Amino acid sequence: MKLLVAEDEPKTGTYLQQGLTEAGFNVDRVMTGTDALQHAISEAYDLLILDVMMPGLDGWEVLRMLRAAGKDVPVLFLTARDGVEDRVKGLELGADDYLIKPFAFSELLARVRTLLRRGNGSPTQTTMKIADLEVDLMKRRAVRGGKRIDLTAKEFSLLELLLRRRGEVLPKSLIASQVWDMNFDSDTNVIEVAVRRLRAKIDDDFDLKLIHTARGMGYMMDAPE
Amino acid sequence: MKHLSLTARMSLMFMSAVIAVLTVAGLSFNMLSQHHFKMLDRQALVEKLESTKHLLNNARGEASLSEELPQLRALLGAHQDLAATILASDDTVLFSDPRAVEVPERFRRANEQNMWEWQNGQHMYRGMTAQISVADQPEPLTALLILDVTNHTHFFDTLQRWFWIGLIISALVSAALGWVVARSGLKPLRQVTRVASGMSARSLQERIPLEPVPQELQQLVLSFNAMLARLEEAFIRLSNFSADIAHELRTPVSNLMTHTEVVLSHKRDITAYEENLYSNLEELKRMSRMIDDMLFLAKADNGLIIPEQARIELADVVYKLFDYYHLLAEERGIELSLTGTGQAQGDRLMLDRALSNLLSNALRYTPAGKTISVLIRQAADSTTFSIENPGDTISSEHLEKLFDRFYRVDPARREGSPSNAGLGLAITRSIIEAHKGRIWCTSAAGLTGFHIELPHSR
């Protein structure tokens, strides 16, 4: 997967490149809008991450010219402003997502993966398996080690989310938004409690733990192959 | 008139008023005097005409007529401006004063009792004509009495000239007076101006004194002082807010610095570094959230938060929030209950957030084993949402300020609870106010309630 990061703030740019590279992406970095446009037109990227405020061309200009040139690569905007009109402008121009600075890197990573997956049109699975845990999405049933696990509706949704995005660290805000439709940061520890309860049912009786905590960032489901 | 100063306007108005009054008075005086002179003239003419008639009636024949003429002369000679002409029926002059002037033909035929006027060059005459029958004469004689009133005209000319001079002088004097009056009348206004121009952010507590100001200006001064009070309040709130920001951010920043420096001062194993980074990350996330919240509040203050207008079933919102918070409530043995339904017009995301803040706030202060009850009531023109929880009673001095940013009932708790920056209720209030609603808090007998009233808009 090849990404282009256009960010004029050197520190942010470097960290983004490092973080994304370590997450397994192939990352090019440019510092001006003009370079971003040039790269995006001449090379094939899977995703562009554009800062709105850049010297030369701003992010919106780059996007406009890119779309005019017939490139429909997904674009994620990074912006320090969060005025409503900014969002509307970005989305009207065909941006696929935006993040307001300061943002958590785990949040960016989650959004990047969502956008890349959207392009692939992931196949609709009805059953999923990780280690000895089997989940039937149609019947809403989970079985681990041959033993049926009783889950509430929300616990099942949480498990499904973790499973679908196995190997990814999911920020708490993303979990709250996807499972409970809470689309704002709440300063309570509801997610911790929910994950703790799910763990009690999924992991406590087994030596191989599937749900992992990425401290300060979120939760992840994974198992060694 | 637009650009004239108030003083100039008042002087001009003063002057116009004086001119108008004097002109009316002058014109009336002029007309009355003219009338009076006319009456005097008529009286004199009628008198002399009667005497003339009498004299001529006594005469017998031509000879006798010539005898009477000296008497006639004596009669008329007494009046300096009066002249007489007596004509026979064939227009031959029987008698004429040397002063008598030749009058046009039409006056010889004028009706008796009618006084005529004749302007001849510089001279002005008034006269009367009478037909007098004399014994032994077949035809009556015509007597013309002519009064020279040129003197009267001169008098009126002089009068008019002095009237105009007087008028101009009065106009100038009244303008000057008007200026003086306006200046002294507007003095309090200049005082107000002086205070106002001396105002700056540092002297906002100053007020314009009300006592020396005349009644007409008191309302202005009161409004001005009220404006100053509002500005001062906003300014104080803003300065407090900045101070709060500095304070709230200083603590985490100094934590980050100290912690990082201490960790770097020695070589450590990798887990110690990791520990430090995690701890920093938590601190940074808290700061980031605080910045987000403060940005939201700043935008709300500037009226930039414009809620969508969707029809929202409040019970649905509450059930969704219960769904989210019930894990937390269960852990602490707290019951959540909802009574009633009601609809509101507004922005789903914002109302979610406002009610979520109230619910998490209630969860924080409810003792284990108690119940948090939510009550929704729909009235004709508004919907009320109340959330009540048992807990320590909040004294009334704190109730109003609960919604202020960074306000905490117990100042010592400021540093204590890391997850609660003290902005939640302020955000809830700005959301409700953006929806044109009202939020207030009650607390009595160990029961604290937050109440929201949302109008059914438009």
Find the mean pLDDT for residues B107-132.
80
Question: What residues in B contact A194, CB-CB < 8 Å?
Answer: 327
| B447-455 sheet: strands from edge to edge | B335-339, B371-378, B382-390, B447-455, B438-444
Say whether both B283 and B321 belong to one domain: no
- Position B411 confidence tier, pLDDT thresholds 50, 70, 90: low
Question: What residues in A contact B285, CB-CB < 8 Å?
Answer: 104, 216
Which residue in B has a C-alpha nearest to residue A178's C-alpha?
B324
Which residue in A has a C-alpha nearest to residue B328's C-alpha?
A190
Is residue B189 a part of any domain in this protein? no
pTM of the model: 0.61
What pLDDT, on a 0 to 100 scale, did the predictor assign at position B421? Answer: 61
End-to-end CA distance of chain B: give it in Å, rounded: 44
Kindly state the percentage of chain B with pLDDT values over 70.
92
The answer, yes or no, to whether residue A222 has pLDDT greater than 70, is: yes
* 3 state SS of B304: coil
Interface contact flag, B295 A194, Cβ < 8 Å: no
**In this structure, what CATH number is given to the domain that contains residue B32?**
3.30.450
- The β-bridge partners of A174 are none
Contact between A132 and A209 (Cβ < 8 Å): no
What's chain B's average pLDDT? 83
Say whether both B286 and B316 belong to one domain: no
Say whether both B356 and B246 belong to one domain: no
How close is the nearest chain A Cα to the Cα of B381, in Å?
29
Is residue B192 a part of any domain in this protein? no
Burial B181-196 (b: 16+ CB within 10 A, else e): ebeeebebbebbeebe
How close is the nearest chain A Cα to the Cα of B414, in Å?
16
- Position A82 confidence tier, pLDDT thresholds 50, 70, 90: low
Contact between B273 and B249 (Cβ < 8 Å): no
Residue A86, phi then psi, degrees to nearest 5: -65, -45
Q: How many CA atoms lie within 13 A of A111 on its CB side?
A: 21
Enter the tokens of residue B143. 């007597």
Say whether both B145 and B275 belong to one domain: no
Interface contact flag, B288 A102, Cβ < 8 Å: yes
Among partner residues B285, B356, B419, which is closest to A104 by beta-carbon distance?
Answer: B285
* Planar angle of CA B286, B448, B387, nearest 5 degrees: 75
Helix locations, B302-366, DSSP H: 314-331, 348-365
What pLDDT, on a 0 to 100 scale, did the predictor assign at position B117? Answer: 83
Find the mean pLDDT for residues A130-156.
88
Spatial distance between the Cα atoms of B400 and B442, rounded to a whole number of angstroms: 10
* pLDDT tens by residue, B166-222: 999 998 998 898 889 888 888 877 877 877 787 776 777 777 777 777 787 788 888
* pLDDT tens by residue, B326-340: 888 998 899 999 999
What pLDDT, on a 0 to 100 scale, did the predictor assign at position B419? Answer: 46
Question: What residues in B contact A176, CB-CB < 8 Å?
Answer: 324
- Position B418 confidence tier, pLDDT thresholds 50, 70, 90: very low
Interface contact flag, A190 B324, Cβ < 8 Å: yes
Omega before residue A102 within 30° of 0, cis: yes
Q: Quick one: which of B173, B176, B194, B196 has its CA closest to B184?
A: B176
Q: Point out the domain boundary residue: B146, B172, B198.
A: B172
Spatial distance between the Cα atoms of A66 and A41, rounded to a whole number of angstroms: 7
Question: What residues in A contact B292, CB-CB < 8 Å?
Answer: 100, 185
Enter the tokens of residue A30. 């440019």
Residue B308, phi then psi, degrees to nearest 5: -70, 160
The answer, yes or no, to whether residue A121 has pLDDT greater than 70, is: no
Spatial distance between the Cα atoms of A203 and A197, rounded to a whole number of angstroms: 10
- The radius of gyration computed from the CA coordinates of chain B, to the nearest angstrom, equals 52
User: What is residue B276's DSSP assignment?
Assistant: H
What pLDDT, on a 0 to 100 scale, did the predictor assign at position A118? Answer: 72
- Tally: H helices and E strands in chain A: 8, 12
* 3 state SS of A100: strand
Query: DSSP E strands: which ranges in B134-206?
Result: 141-148
Say whether both B331 and B450 belong to one domain: yes
Say whether both B95 and B168 belong to one domain: yes
What pLDDT, on a 0 to 100 scale, did the predictor assign at position B405? Answer: 79
Contact between B81 and B44 (Cβ < 8 Å): no
How close is the nearest chain A Cα to the Cα of B294, in Å?
13
What pLDDT, on a 0 to 100 scale, did the predictor assign at position B78? Answer: 67
What pLDDT, on a 0 to 100 scale, did the predictor assign at position A119? Answer: 60
- Which of B275, B324, B347 is the best residue to mutate to test the A interface, defined by the most A CB atoms within 10 Å of its own CB? B324
Placement of tokens 């609960």 in the chain: B402
How close is the nearest chain A Cα to the Cα of B202, in Å?
32
Q: Which domains does chain A have, with CATH numbers?
A: 2-120 (3.40.50.2300), 127-221 (1.10.10.10)
Say whether both B10 and B158 belong to one domain: yes
Say whether both B10 and B153 belong to one domain: yes
Question: What residues in A contact B291, CB-CB < 8 Å?
Answer: 102
**In this structure, what CATH number is given to the domain that contains residue B257?**
1.10.287.130
* pLDDT tens by residue, A166-208: 888 888 888 998 888 888 777 778 899 999 999 999 888 888 8
- Position B384 confidence tier, pLDDT thresholds 50, 70, 90: very high
The answer, yes or no, to whether residue B342 has pLDDT greater than 50, is: yes
Least confident stretch, B133-137, B316-320, B351-355, B357-361: B133-137
Domain of B58?
A: 6-172
Is residue B79 a part of any domain in this protein? yes
Q: At residue B415, what is the residue type?
A: E
- Calculate the dihedral angle through the C-alpha atoms of A133, A137, A141, A145, rounding to the nearest 10 degrees: -10
- The radius of gyration computed from the CA coordinates of chain A, to the nearest angstrom, equals 20
Question: What residues in A contact B281, CB-CB < 8 Å?
Answer: 215-217
The answer, yes or no, to whether residue B430 has pLDDT greater than 60, is: yes
What pLDDT, on a 0 to 100 scale, did the predictor assign at position B318? Answer: 93
Contact between A137 and A125 (Cβ < 8 Å): yes
In order of B253, B284, B287, B401, B421, the CA distances from B249 in angstroms are 6, 10, 7, 21, 10
- Position B143 confidence tier, pLDDT thresholds 50, 70, 90: confident
Interface contact flag, B327 A193, Cβ < 8 Å: yes
Is residue B184 a part of any domain in this protein? no
How close is the nearest chain B Cα to the Cα of A34, in Å?
31
Q: Quick one: which of A225, A191, A223, A195 has its CA closest to A207?
A: A223
Is residue B44 a part of any domain in this protein? yes
Is residue B375 a part of any domain in this protein? yes
Query: DSSP E strands: which ranges in B357-411?
Result: 371-378, 382-390
Interface contact flag, B289 A185, Cβ < 8 Å: yes
Which residue in B has a C-alpha nearest to residue A190's C-alpha?
B328
What pLDDT, on a 0 to 100 scale, did the predictor assign at position B385? Answer: 93
- Position B429 confidence tier, pLDDT thresholds 50, 70, 90: very high
- Calculate the dihedral angle through the C-alpha atoms of B13, B19, B20, B23, rounding to the nearest 10 degrees: 180
Among partner residues A154, A185, A197, which is closest to B323 by beta-carbon distance?
Answer: A154
Is residue B191 a part of any domain in this protein? no
- Calculate the dihedral angle through the C-alpha atoms of A158, A160, A162, A168, rounding to the nearest 10 degrees: -140
What pLDDT, on a 0 to 100 scale, did the predictor assign at position B388? Answer: 92
Q: Quick one: which of B92, B121, B125 has its CA closest to B107?
A: B125
Q: Point out the domain boundary residue: B172, B203, B238.
A: B172
Write out the residues of chain A at the interface with chain B, using a CB-CB cutoff of 8 A.
82-84, 100, 102, 104, 154, 176, 180-190, 193-194, 197, 215-217
**In this structure, what CATH number is given to the domain that contains residue B376?**
3.30.565.10
Q: How many CA atoms lie within 13 A of B365 on its CB side?
A: 23
Placement of tokens 């003063």 in the chain: B14
Kindly state the percentage of chain B with pLDDT values over 90.
18
Is residue B198 a part of any domain in this protein? no
Which residue in A has a C-alpha nearest to residue B282's C-alpha?
A216
The answer, yes or no, to whether residue B417 has pLDDT greater than 50, is: no
Question: What residues in B contact A190, CB-CB < 8 Å?
Answer: 324-325, 327-328
Enter the tokens of residue A119. 């392009």
Among partner residues B292, B328, B349, which is closest to A193 by beta-carbon distance?
Answer: B328
Interface contact flag, A185 B292, Cβ < 8 Å: yes
Contact between A75 and A6 (Cβ < 8 Å): no
How close is the nearest chain B Cα to the Cα of A201, in Å?
15
* pLDDT tens by residue, B260-284: 888 888 888 998 888 888 888 888 8
Among partner residues B292, B327, B363, which is closest to A197 by beta-carbon distance?
Answer: B327
* Planar angle of CA B279, B280, B282, nearest 5 degrees: 65
Say whether both B39 and B149 belong to one domain: yes
Question: What residues in A contact B353, CB-CB < 8 Å?
Answer: 184
Work out the number of other CB atoms within 10 angstroms of the CB of residue B44. 17
Say whether both B288 and B392 belong to one domain: no
Say whether both B334 and B220 belong to one domain: no
Say whether both B141 and B237 belong to one domain: no
Residue B234, phi then psi, degrees to nearest 5: -65, -40
Q: Point out the domain boundary residue: B254, B269, B301.
A: B301
Q: Is the ipTM of this complex over 0.95?
A: no
Q: Quick one: which of B354, B287, B343 has its CA closest to B314?
A: B343
Residue B217, phi then psi, degrees to nearest 5: -95, -5
Total structural domains within chain B? 3
Which residue in A has a C-alpha nearest to residue B283's C-alpha?
A216
What pLDDT, on a 0 to 100 scale, did the predictor assign at position B416? Answer: 40
